[in-house]
Structure 1
Amino acid sequence: MEHSELLYNIENTNKFGKDTVGYLESSHTLSLYYVLDGHSKHPQSSILVSRFQEYVSEFYNEFKELEPVDSKIVSFLRKIFTDFYLQYQRTLIPGAMSIIIAVFTSGKVITAHLGDCRLGKISGNEISWLTMPHNLAMIYLDKSSDIELQLKTCEYNHIVTRSLNTKTLKEIEFNIFDIESCQYLLVSDGIWKLENENILNLIHLREQYFSLTSNIEDDMALIIIDCNTQ
């Protein structure tokens, strides 16, 4: 399954987090992608992100043998979260990160997430978001109005209510979607909070976008998974 990645991390000595991406591929029928967003105000967050990257690579052989069955994939994803928490329990505090992992099968997209990284899809110039963030803005949503506009503009949208940390394992959210002929996006909040026009420009311009934009306020991580040929 074809994919591309894009990363941008702001250099700041007072910042503790970083964004990153990664993937595992087992065969033509299963692919795993993830986006991590280390929380910038929590010391140890960058270390937590790096440790997770090292840790998830250890699942390569197990993933290679994983059957493309929804329930088994959900159990596999739960194990990744739970075992990481147990391995580093009560260490690297107060490090925390948002995380989303997506496994693509021939017919499904199965996600597990904590925090405000999200899965979306793009068809033409239309962007839609399939997962919801775990942040304080969710409490104040007016469902009769534009939900995405509220999520982008709410003054509380930077306060994450469920993160992956080593102090407490929060409830993991799982979602299963039928796969469509489109491009899927896995992103950190530095991307989905942008205006849609800017997201499209970022996807089109890639690294050039960063040199043309002077007011970047947050780290950004993006994986584009192309399912147009599936």
Structure 2
Amino acid sequence: MTYNHLTISELSFIQNFWNQGVKAYIVAKTLKRSAETIYPVFRFLYAGNSISEYYENYRANKSRSGRKPIVLPNDELEYIKEKVSLGWTPDTIIGRNEKHISCSMRMLYRIFKCSKDLDVTSLPMKGKRHPNGYVERRGKAGRLGRTLLKRHQDYPNYHNEFGHLEADTIQGKNHHGAVMTLVEWKSKAVIILNTRHKTDKAIFEKLDALLSVTPKGLFKSITFDNGKEFSKWKD
């Protein structure tokens, strides 16, 4: 349950009511607040203090609340800078787990954006999800198969075990050529297949060729988006 702190306007009303001798429970009903919220202010005023002092105390206590910022050790910072210089992203650094990092992937992105030790502009996408001016123009095929909820029901250890691929396609400049990327979720290892064309037939043929030469059971699942080029996945 979220607690809304008293505003300056409400504190002014409380002081005026207190000066007029209005009871605290009546003030609570008038302001539509809990009586437990009003009584501490009344007790503070009865002790000979002013409402401005109450507000300053509140601000001082507020500044000490909340989670303390995460400060990464120097060895972890140096490791992160080294990998970023090689083109790694925070999710790759955390996912590969070559070295223990004292925060999650999302927190590492926040540290890049807020910390002076790590520069967000050094990331491949400068901390952005898409480049400037990006507009999704590619047609969609609607929902082609199961939802992500169904995937997690079928594979409850999806985030902790090896063998789950996430597939996507990349179109070449001026629509010349295309490749399909298969990213293993846990290790962030990438398989790149030159499909030449961004069609469902080309995608299916390359994927079938890959799976025919890999050990059975190595890959447990492949997650596609709703692009039309993946419409033959059921085959």
Larger Rg: 2
Whether the TM-score (by the shorter chain) exceeds 0.5 is: no
Which protein has the bigger strand share? 1
Which protein has the bigger helix share? 2
Normalising by the residue count of structure 2, what TM-score does the alignment of the two structures yield?
A: 0.24
